Amino acid sequence: MGAYEDQMNQALRPVAPPRVLQGVYTDDQHARMLDVIKREGPWPTIASHHFESVEELIATVTGVIPDDLDLTLDDIAAPQFRGFFGQNSVSFFPELNDCFYNDGFLDLVKDYWDAAYAKPTMMLFNICGPHPAFGPPPSHLDGVTFRGIRYENAPVWLMNCMAKSGLFTEYLVKMAQVITWWYLGENGTFSYWPDGPMGEPKVLEHPLWNKGVVVQNEMMFHRGDPVGAWDSPPVANMKHRSEMGWDAGSATWRILTDGEAVHTYQPDDLRLLVHWNAEVYSDMDELRKVMDHTDDITVEEAVGRLIADMRAKGTKVAEPSDPFHDKDFIRAVVDSYTIAPTTEWLEIPAA
């Protein structure tokens, strides 16, 4: 193991192992969340929330961007969809206020960190049904938050590469999540690397009904495993712009592309993940530093530090025309700061 890999193997691990929870939400809370998802849909793909190019997507997960890459986001579109119950510490749906402003969750994340203060920041959900597995899904980090650079003002790929560079640890914001699953079908488990990307993975096994974890997911590689039987039917005409929503008339979940239903799931097919996120502060001094923005880093400073470090290591990299979307800059950053689990195991039966 090289010096960089050893450094990142120590850095990219949660403050504590994930803590498994049972019975995370009440039946009434689950029903109300599902009602909102049905009523307010259809919902866009996860990738469409975050990425404008394949390079950005690859930079966010793992792997090196091939020089001869000739793919579009439509070519790799996955039938996994996302929506938000709240962002920026604001609950979007009053009927879910008790889920978002959750005293029990705040106590869980403060205890997880042994910290004095916490606030909810975001609550999202992912929905999907069974779909084919074309290989092990890539492990990834959730968006890593820094003082001054965060989900609200920077792309996820940049935040995650900043984490994988090891250059910005003094700006990290403490975060924790309560993540919960409802799915009783085949596969669809949760794999994670609590001992760093060079360590052995663990799996949160079935049954996954109202089962969850308290975790620091943005500093721990993890993945959602393939959903459904290995020979699940493919989704025809699946695109980056496709959506998934509830059709009350047929009482089914439908995937839509340009308004046309291209795939249908029965209610029991649904895999629902609810991700509640909080910022955590060890003490009042740390809280004030984050809230008062007295020690933030700017995007310009972060990009400058990355460029200086890459050039010092012999990488030729030009000043990006647009640091968020410049594909040459993204490629250089990914090539320079690549770290991924060495045990991406998943036995997929031969066809």
Torsion of Cα atoms, 210 then 183 then 193 then 158, to 10°: -100
Q: CA–CA separation, 263 vs 149, rounded Å? A: 38
Taking a C-beta distance cutoff of 8 angstroms, is the pair 243, 141 a contact? no
pLDDT score for 66: 58
Which among 125, 169, 110 has a CA at the least distance from the CA of 34? 125
Residue with tokens 């929506």: 83
As for how many domains the chain has, the answer is 1
So what's the pLDDT on residue 12? 92
Residue 347 lies in a domain: no
CA gap 147, 309 in Å, rounded: 20
**136 has a pLDDT exceeding 90:** no
- Domain boundaries, position 76: 3-336
Question: Two tokens at 264?
Answer: 């249908």
Q: Per-residue pLDDT tens for 203-243?
A: 999 999 999 999 999 999 999 999 999 888 999 999 999 99
- Above 60 in pLDDT, residue 65? no
Give the DSSP letter of residue 110.
H
How many helices (H) and strands (E) the chain has is answered by 10, 14
Alpha-carbon span 32 to 280, nearest angstrom: 27
Cβ proximity of 177 and 190 under 8 Å: no
Planar angle of CA 296, 302, 304, nearest 5 degrees: 135
Residues listed for the chain: 351
User: DSSP secondary-structure letter at 293?
Assistant: T
Let me know if residue 246 belongs to a domain.
yes
> What does the block give as tokens for 261?
């239903």
Where does residue 297 rank: exposed (0-12), middle (13-18), buried (19+ CB within 10 A)?
middle
Mean confidence (pLDDT) of the chain: 92
**Among the ranges given (95-109, 233-247, 261-275, 334-348), the one the predictor scored with the smallest mean pLDDT:** 334-348
Provide the 8-state DSSP code for 324.
Answer: T
Q: Rounded to whole angstroms, how far apart are CA atoms 16 and 77?
A: 34
Structural domain includes residue 288: yes
Each residue's pLDDT tens digit, 138-192:
788 888 999 999 988 999 899 999 999 999 999 999 999 999 999 999 999 999 9
Q: How far is CA 206 from the centre of its chain?
A: 21
Any domain includes 101 = yes
Predicted local distance difference test score (pLDDT) of residue 241: 96
Domain membership flag for residue 348: no
Mean pLDDT of the region 99-126: 98
Question: pLDDT tens digits, residue range 33-45?
Answer: 999 999 999 999 9
List the CATH number of the domain containing 16. Answer: 2.60.120.620
**Model confidence pLDDT, tens digit, residues 246-302:** 999 999 999 999 999 999 999 999 999 999 999 999 999 999 999 999 999 999 999
CA atoms within 13 A on the CB side of 176: 27
Domain-located, residue 343: no
